């Protein structure tokens, strides 16, 4: 089921140029989606806006990697892929599991890397 971009969708200004590149596929049963396309897209864009603001403050224009902790079904990951196309990888780590949807829809794109993170007191090697 694809998300719908409604004409009255309001997004943070810094994220607007990336909307046309955002994948609109939606995982059936996505727990973060409550039937409101505007809200779902805005939440992902809002997270991206915070990341872009942090990068500006750090004076970093082209990060070498992005860690999407807790990526789940891709509400934020879809925005990261649309924005940081030059990255070799976006490392998506879920505390519980990588959703099949994210693995299928985002790993297909060049450079997407998915990894699992076990909650442990030992260091975790994600290479």
Per-residue pLDDT of 5-16, as tens digits, reads 999 999 999 999
Residue 88 pLDDT class (50, 70, 90 cuts)? low
Residue 52 pLDDT class (50, 70, 90 cuts)? very high
Residue 97's domain spans which residues?
A: 13-116
Whether residue 55 is contained in a domain is answered as yes
How far apart, in whole angstroms, are the C-alpha atoms of residue 30 and residue 75?
9
**23 pLDDT higher than 60:** yes
User: Whole-number mean pLDDT of the chain?
Assistant: 75
How many domains, in total, are found in the chain?
Answer: 1
Whether residue 5 is contained in a domain is answered as no
How far apart, in whole angstroms, are the C-alpha atoms of residue 108 and residue 123?
29
Whether residue 8 is contained in a domain is answered as no
**Helices marked H in the chain:** 37-57, 77-83, 100-107
Whether residue 127 is contained in a domain is answered as no
* The pTM of the whole model exceeds 0.85: no
Whether residue 125 is contained in a domain is answered as no
């Amino acid at each position: 089921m694809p998300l719908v971009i409604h004409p009255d969708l309001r997004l943070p200004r810094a994220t607007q140029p990336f909307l046309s590149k955002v994948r609109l596929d939606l995982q059936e049963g996505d727990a973060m989606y409550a039937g409101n396309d505007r809200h779902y897209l805005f939440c992902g864009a809002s997270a991206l806006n915070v990341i872009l603001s942090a990068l500006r403050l750090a004076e970093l224009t082209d990060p070498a990697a992005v860690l999407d902790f807790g990526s789940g079904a891709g509400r934020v990951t879809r925005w990261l892929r649309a924005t940081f196309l030059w990255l070799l990888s976006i490392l998506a780590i879920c505390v519980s599991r990588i959703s099949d949807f994210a693995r299928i829809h985002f790993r297909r794109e060049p450079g997407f890397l998915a990894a699992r993170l076990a909650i442990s007191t030992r260091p975790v090697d994600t290479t």
